Structure 1
């Protein structure tokens, strides 16, 4: 299998944090699900100081890290002496610490989880303040300290703001008879894998849990997905050989949503990655954007508004640059009026901002004078085949915020049309699930995506988005709008 890089889980996490910092300031959120050492993994990462502040939390329930007994895993001396793990609060700690909800009155040392919405709200508020000093480690389901599990209908509870979802399996279960003592929610596990009680558990059962989509439920589009196969030191020595671990890793990487696979041995006193590998090319379903850059600018008194200068860039170049700084990976630019000049301005943004994991195509709309609907339809037909959802971004929105785009994506669900609200009023851009691509590809006239929105009112999800820039939904239609934009640029020093 080509396009792979061998590395440890710690190096993988550090690289993702570094990459996130290059986009925009934000806490980095890692959510762990599954069984077989999930809590131990998070505790070790807490102590590693990937960022200035480490926050351990849960959306379900969890024992205090130093509670001992059946409530928490055994700790090394270093973890026992870690002051942050003793600092438990019911609000986000200002320094490294543990963020839980209230205690269970009948179970000393056990705490209720933090509401997922509270976690997401805190992350978005930190983004607004441009803070990037925190690594938030969230245990997003429970496994009763068993090596394997299956999800109940209410699981997992993964925050929408998650950047990396780690699916943890305990390999100590391999070669053992299948029953509830080994697998939490064994009845559901049996339904998913076809495994009968008493049959031996093998690696193909883990493959089935991933391949069926069972363990991909609830993972945000903006999250990378890594599989951690912990307790690898319990395998038979021949199964611990690099060539076998590599073969097993490749079997899981056959599923395009999986970005990386790690075989680890996390225990009380030590931890190591026996073998780890990640893709160098992202094959997960991308979020797409069609940049609408074909219009006639009829209200701009003879000027093409997309080519007007705003500080050091043109309007369309700035819109393109802002979009490229987001989590969108698949772009289609639709040109029409003054296509060569517009494409040249687009090219300037690409030279400075385009990342290796992004792809872009430019298509010319011969029917651009017939209205925006023709550009929406043409752009939709050129989206990546695996595209999960798509924005339609007007080329004259130079103040669009990458973090606003991220927040809209975080609210995506299958078969929805996500419409952002700013101050309670509908705004753009709207995010359409791929379910609506067929309708979008047939549009005509000048209403654009509004025709599809009116047709599918029951699928609309309105979300109030945060952000510090009241101009982020501002588009330039008239000379007065352009003058306002120039003043905004001058005052803010963009």
Structure 2
């Protein structure tokens, strides 16, 4: 790849390395300069610009990141669309991240231009959580390096999904055991198992005595649980204590006592009739994360839980200062809001949204594109002829919101749509129902670019440097949009927050084509 300062007149087809302001228009880094761009640079008196040009053996940043992601990821993961040389990898199931640290090191040593970062091996994730990010540093990398990195990264990352556990729970009592203590034990175990998607199938309470506990363990196995948990009235302090002695009396064995995790040191692992039995530490009654959580997660993920696995938990096993429940990054939740309330005044009598486009009403085509994307839910704002619009959307997975103030302009429909966005969502992509070429791929491309933390809180679809629609807004701009009135939509919110705007080049005229008139509709049909 060639990189450096070049005469602007020679830069058609080159990649702009640094953002520039050209005659009031911002040319952002990564823009592939067109002939019109070159003319604009020259007319603005910009004689030289820093650009990059790919060679025949180079792979552009997005393609390289995607190729590496496909080679490095396995079961339980999903690759997001690339943007700016970055591909994020998400979990497709609740489970534990599995990372081959050796493979990751070999991959990251191939070239300083190729990087992959993951969560820690064994990290607990939920569906949609971010588990890894792959970033190509420059605009392109040599094809040979990409191939070597892919070979090195094979089998690097996966997510072991949780299976629903069926658990037996045995509690023991002493003369001074209180109902409150038993309740805490039941709650501590029950909440953990439910969070993992399992059930406590059977529960029994017996005196804290070896023979009676041994009988209770044997009875607990009749229901064929996946494992049995024992909440002792008194903590286990030795391999010869009541709970380990009861396991052995029933014909089982003690596999491991004690773990290098705090809180959770006094946990015991045993086996009875091929069923795991866990003697619980006292901290299992509390909701804070402890060694029991780490063990239960491995059982639920169907991973080995032996002495070697328990000993390995010592790295990261000091939990006292991080006992609050973890909070993982996740894929952004974005709703699609489709404006379909207008009166089609320029259509001179007809309702453009009901016109057939490739055999489908125009509004249904827009809704289908949004449904096929990663945006959810899909909200359609109606106004003019709401019953007719609703009829052509019948059977589609959309939420209809009627705007009784549709005559007041586009902004009133935007307000109605944003009011319907679920409270937990991070933003909304505003779409117009009369744009037939906006498809799911463009919506997903815009969602991949969205990252408020990195300064991309507003994402605008463009073509050849001209901004169009859709536009994706982070929730932080909803209040500002709700102050807009009239028929301007939210365009001025984009213009007044340029520092947060990310332009996504579509590669086609889709962001600029709407069917407002009979002539526009006829022209589109005649293509």
TM-score category of the 2 structures, normalised to the smaller one = 0.3 to 0.5
Greater relative contact order: 1 or 2 (C-alpha under 8 angstroms, separation 6 or more)? 1
Give 1 or 2 for the bigger CA radius of gyration: 2
Give the TM-score, by structure 2 length: 0.44
Q: Between Structure 1 and Structure 2, which shows a larger proportion of strand residues?
A: 2
